Chains A and B, each alone.
Chain A
Amino acid sequence: MGSKSTAQAPAVSPPGPDISAFSVPTLQTIYKDYFDFVWSSARHLGAAGDAIDDVVQDVFIVIHHKLATLQRPEALRSWIYGIVRRTVSDYRRSRRTRDAAGARLGAEYKSTRPSQPSPLDMAERNAELELLESVLAELDENKREVFVMVEVLEMTVPEVVQALEIPLNTAYSRLRLARQSFEDALAKHEARDEENRKPCRP
């Protein structure tokens, strides 16, 4: 006799940590399972190196406060991303008023982390990050965000839809165009590099 499963398939199946039976998780579980995601999202959204601790801490304080209102535990990652996005936006706004210069997505790629392994690794990584930064800078903000969410943060498109509250078709369209623009920009950079490497004729 086959037992009938009562668990329903989720609308979104995140590849991230398993929240069993989609019960509302505790802050402790969220911290354990989503700390890396919160940190990476905040960094990619433009939280500057010196503000990252404050941003991440604020995100978890907000999560703690809002957890009781979480109604769709199956969409936890989208929910968390929304909180990160809002918190980073708040920090960027306050920073803009202070510095009169806005941080932008990708603007922190040049910064180095103190825990990076070696100067050589750091140099190579920074070269890659500089390239990534300049390629991403050629995408408009909406496409860039979807691109980073899917390609870098490895979110699913339905998660993007929930986090950004945009239609599914819009999300897929932005992703497709973002990938095209990304590849075009990358090809342009490579062509420019190739040109620069050519020996100068006397």
Chain B
Amino acid sequence: MSTLSPKGRDLVRAGRRAFQPTNADRDRLLGALRVHLGDSALPPDVGSVATAAAVGRSIWPLISAVVASIGIVGGALFYSLRSGTEQDNPQAANVAQVAATPQVSDPVAPPAAALAPSPAVAPPMTDPPVPPSGSAHHPQDRLAAEVALLSRATRDLRAGRPAEALKALDEYRRKFPKGLLGEEQRAGRAQALCALGRFDEANEKLAALAPQSPLAVQAKQFCDARLAAR
């Protein structure tokens, strides 16, 4: 097979170089993923810079709180000392008090759920925190919501609650008719139907899956086992 000319190879190399991520890219995305998936999915030893950033983020609320407390105490002390001498200018004291209002909310700090301690034994699939309602229009939140619904269905199915799993899958289908995880939804639906003994419907769902896909194989094995156990 022909290879490229030296000029062509140079161009290709330029293409490779241009779209390489930086360490900052790697760390930024790692932090964002931890917020979505939790520390059990991505323990903090991936990349030292990222770890430092994560630690920085986790202690930031504490630092903010300490600084804010100092501000409040200092402001109150300042005000009490000055109030005796500056009775004729109360507005100045009010400004100082407003400036000392605690700023404890940190826009980059992950939500409380993401900072919760990891369980001693990590489950095979970690549920991401369900995004607050009304924010599902953002692609990240939407995907997290998709994952959360499918995880609920999987949990119900494993716990022997196929009807509940089916409800979660119905909800998924209603909320995300063109979801990124549609194939997973269909495979899960087939399994839930098999678990309920509705094999004809399950077969229809199985037939709609790509036959060689791991999901289809897994769903079919599940249904075969259920059918054999009848």
- What residues of chain A lie closer than 8 Å to B1, measured between beta carbons? 172, 175-176, 179
Interface flag for A54 (CB, 8 Å): yes
When C-beta atoms are compared, the residue in chain A nearest to B126 turns out to be A64
Contact A36 to B20, CB < 8 A, known contacts A135-B11, A151-B12: yes
Given A66-B184, A68-B124 in contact, is the A40-B19 Cβ separation under 8 Å?
A: yes
Shortest B142–chain A CB gap in Å is 9
Bound complex: CA A70 to CA B147 (Å): 17
Stretch at the interface among A6-14, A15-23, A55-63: A55-63
Cβ B15 vs Cβ A61 within 8 A: no
B14 at interface by CB-CB < 8 Å: yes
Task: Please give the distance in Å from A168's CB to the nearest CB on chain B.
Answer: 13
B124, A28: Cβ atoms closer than 8 Å: no
Which residues of the partner chain B approach A69 to less than 8 Å between Cβ atoms?
Answer: 184, 214-215, 218
Taking CB atoms, residues of chain A closer than 8 Å to B43 are 28
**Nearest CB of B to A22, in Å:** 15
On whether A129 and B18 interact (CB within 8 A), knowing A61-B128, A65-B184, A71-B217, the answer reads: yes
CB of B206 within 8 Å of the partner chain: no
Q: A151-B4, A176-B2 are in contact. Are A56 and B47 (CB under 8 A)?
A: no
Chain A residues whose C-beta falls within 8 Å of the C-beta of B24 in the assembled complex: 115
A132 interface residue (CB < 8 Å to B)? yes
Interface assignment of B7: CB less than 8 Å from any CB of chain A: yes
Contact B214 A190 (CB under 8 A): no
Residues of A within 8 Å of B, CB-based: how many? Answer: 52
Q: Is A186 at the interface (CB under 8 A from chain B)?
A: yes
- Neighbour of B21 across the interface among A27, A32, A39, A70, CB < 8 A: A39
A54 to B41, CA, bound (A): 18
Q: What is the CB-to-nearest-CB distance from B86 to chain A, in angstroms, rounded to a whole number? A: 48
Residues of chain B with a CB closer than 8 A to A113's CB: 18, 22
A61 touches B16 (CB 8 A): no
Interface residues in A138-181 (C-beta closer than 8 Å to B): 148, 151-152, 154, 172, 175-176, 179-180
Given the interface pairs A53-B29, A62-B181, A86-B180, the reply to whether A91 lies near B139 with Cβ below 8 Å is yes
Among B3, B12, B19, B41, max chain A CB count under 10 A is at B19
B150–A65 CB distance below 8 A: yes
B62 at the interface (CB under 8 A from A): no
Contact A115 B22 (CB under 8 A): yes
Q: How far is the CB of B190 from chain A (nearest CB, A)?
A: 14
- A57 x B15 contact (CB < 8 A): no
CB neighbours of A65 from chain B (8 A) = 125, 147, 150-151, 181, 184
Q: Is A87 in contact with chain B by the CB < 8 A criterion?
A: yes
Q: Which of chain A's residues has its CB closest to B217's CB?
A: A71
A71 to B217, CA, bound (A): 10
Say how far A122's CB is from chain B's closest CB, in angstroms: 10
Q: Nearest CB to that of B23 among chain A residues? A: A115
Per-residue CB contact flags for chain B residues 179-195 toward chain A (1 = under 8 Å, else 0) read 01100100000000000
Q: Does B73 contact A (CB under 8 A)?
A: no
| C-alpha gap A40/B1 in the complex (Å) | 25
Please pick, from A27, A109, A179, the residue contacting B4 in the complex, using a CB distance under 8 A. Answer: A179
Smallest CB separation, B138 vs chain A (Å): 8
The residue from B7, B19, B37, B140 contacting A27, defined by CB atoms under 8 A apart = B37
- A54-B140 contact, Cβ under 8 Å, with A65-B147, A69-B215, A180-B2: yes
Instruction: Across the A-B interface, give the 3 residue pairs with the lowest CB-CB distance, nearest first.
Output: A43-B19, A128-B14, A39-B21
Instruction: Please list 23 pairs of residues, one from A and one from B, whose beta carbons are closer than 8 Å in the complex, sorted by A's number.
Output: A27-B41, A31-B42, A39-B25, A40-B19, A43-B18, A58-B143, A58-B180, A61-B147, A62-B143, A62-B180, A64-B37, A64-B125, A65-B147, A66-B184, A69-B214, A94-B139, A132-B12, A148-B15, A179-B3, A182-B4, A182-B8, A183-B4, A186-B5
